[in-house]
Chain A
Amino acid sequence: MATRTFVAVTATALAAAAMLAAPPAGAESLRIGMITTLSGGGSGLGIDIRDGFLLGVAHADGRLGGVETEVIEADDERRPELAVQLADRMVQRDEVHIVTGIVWSNLALAIMPTLAREETVFVSPNAGPSALAGEQCSRYFFNVAYQNDNNHEAMGQHVANEGYERVFLLAPNYPAGQDSLTGFKRFFDGEVVEEVYTQLGQLDYAAEIAQIRAAEPDAVFFFLPGGMGINFLKQYDQAGMKDEVPVFGPAFSLSQDILGAVGDAALGVYNTAQWSPDLDNDGNARFVADFQAAYDRLPSLYAAQAYDAAQLIGAAVAAIGGDVEDTDALIAALETAEFDSIRGPFRFNTNHFPIQDFYLRQVVAREDGTLTNRMVDTVFTDHADVYAADCSF
């Protein structure tokens, strides 16, 4: 009996202590829900986003916009239904002011109804599906990275500029894959020899590579993020095709997180993005150096976007004098926030998506032999997405 009483008392004491430790609602602190993919497939991207964001918070001495900042992490395991649960929990229990972190477009689409209903701001450091840019746009949704079509549009423009006439297109058979090829074709005016949709998560691309060899195109455009890109590039090189038909892709197919695994098969390949590790501005140099020092690896595009998400939030919170409980004021401040984006010029369009420049990058080897992207040219200046006209809040 005595033991049982003791256990009950201890449990009560622990519960009380836990309640004391939890942040009291309404206190002068900024709570940010970081929902991202930290385990399983694709976790490399989520971990980069978390680390990039935390570096942004650290550069603000733990106080974004001068307000004590608490980042609450949760792993969505790349599962939409889990992301919705987490978003609910973050809003109800943790009473976060802003949610960020989501990597994947289908997860962003899944949690947005919850966040809009609860009037909580979502600053997306990556996912930018066309649905949220056009008719279904929400005033609570901000994308600090790009609209999904943009990087593909930039590559379509570059491939057309270079005078390639017959191009073979390759993308996974899911909404972002179809958006990708649509974006490419919007600016590429030559002939599309063949459009091949592969399975999401496909391992072996030998069949497609044989088709490319048989079709004899001038160039190949491929959108295969993560492990799919690693598989394709290695196999394309092993098939002896890399020197026969050049490949082009958006930055997702050749971002820092996969270059180490692809190796020389990626060397020299051109890709397009709104950011590059060697972009010449003070903020970017500091970001790249400090990221490397803190995490012992080079930052990817995803880390850069998350770092800018932290900077954006900091600028908006500072503009409203730290009153983070006033959501309407926070949204207005985010729309006009001025911060030194590490990608160069940045402003929001009317649909809360960026208007920004897009660059051509090339995979090169650094002195120590590690591969990275180097900036080559500017493809688009002040580029906006085509969906903004359909959006009204």
Chain B
Amino acid sequence: MDPALVVEQTLNGFQLGVMLFLMAAGLTLVFGIMDLINLAHGSLYMVGAYLTATFAQAFDSFLLGLLLALPAAALVGVIVEVTALRTLYRRAHLDQVLATFGLILFFNELVRMIWGPVPIRLDPPDFLAGQVEVLPGIPYSAFRLAIIVVGIAVAIGLWALIARTRLGMRIRAGASNRPMATALGVDIARLFTVVFALGAALAALAGGMAGAVLSVEVGMGEQILLLTFVVIVIGGIGSVRGAFFGALLVGLVDTYGRAFLPDLLRLVLEPAVADGVGASLASMAIYLVMALVLVVRPRGLFPAHG
């Protein structure tokens, strides 16, 4: 196998992985700390992409667009948390699923009313539009490298926030024992709002960066939401570290599967059969990994607590 191709596919896997991590981090925090299944997390990703595209066009700068979209999406998150989700914390998970599914429909229609049904345009910034030679003879998209860098920076930042700050201490306290944290004077309602806003901003960051690579369209959130749930189930629900390694694992398995499975099968099967079987197996690969992880470690690779 061509070593250059392996290097390139590994980078592709990392890039998909950190993108999934940005989504999964917010979702797993909300899940682990607030005990809320939030299907509408993908909607915040979509809103982030649309806001980034709109601001980027208005100010003719991708970076400015992304920087403005983050607080704007966090604000949307706060509004959603205060008006809709707050009533759901004490209810069963099924009620939460139904209500947040309703939010998906609501956001999809809202986005269609504001931006129209046709996908909109978002280009990467000019200085990241080209290629960089990562190793001699291996060019790689500069923007995708930037996504990897941002993703890793966010991972370190989140770790520092949770492990080293007072807010992080409260988050950990709220996650491990909510009644005790309340008794010690932590304002849980406010903490939840802050966590949800943080999750929304992370989703918007993923959406804004993904929007430069992918299509910015109504329903884009649902496409990535499923993968995100796979990530947090593999990583361990509520664990940010689990989300990081789960996301990298899913990104690499998915990319390697698509890149190399058909070729490997060609060694033993007819080419036409190998391509068909390879494509089908590749699309199942991450779910097979998830099933395997659930058998070996039912609580995920890095269980959050207990």
A residues engaging B (CB < 8 A)? 39-41, 43-44, 47, 173, 194-199, 201, 203-204, 206-208, 210-211, 213-214, 226-228, 230-231, 234-235, 238-240, 257-258, 260-263, 297
Contact = CB atoms under 8 A, between A and B. Distances in A.
Contacts of A198: 258, 279
Contact of B275 (A197, A199, A201): A197
A43 B123 contact: no
A179 to B, nearest CB: 14
B144 interface: yes
Given A44-B217, A214-B5, A238-B144, 20 more contacts: A41-B217, A173-B280, A195-B272, A196-B262, A199-B283, A204-B16, A206-B144, A207-B12, A207-B255, A213-B8, A226-B215, A227-B217, A230-B214, A231-B214, A234-B212, A238-B141, A239-B141, A240-B141, A257-B119, A262-B121
B213 interface: yes
B228 to A, nearest CB: 12
Main secondary structure of the interface of A (DSSP, over half): helix
B213 A258 contact: no
A10 to B, nearest CB: 30
B179 interface: no
A44 B5 contact: no
B120 interface: yes
Interface stretch (B87-95, B190-198, B218-226, B295-303): B218-226
Contacts of A230: 119, 214-215, 217
Nearest to B224: A203
Contacts of A226: 215
Q: Most chain-B Cβ atoms within 10 A of its Cβ — which of A39, A47, A206? A: A206
B79 to A, nearest CB: 23
12 contacts: A39-B112, A43-B117, A44-B118, A173-B280, A198-B279, A206-B144, A230-B214, A234-B213, A238-B141, A238-B213, A261-B119, A261-B121
Given A207-B255, A207-B258, A230-B119, A41 B224 contact: no
A208 B139 CA distance: 15
A40 B222 CA distance: 10
A238 B143 contact: yes
A210 B220 CA distance: 24
Contact of A43 (B130, B144, B218): B218
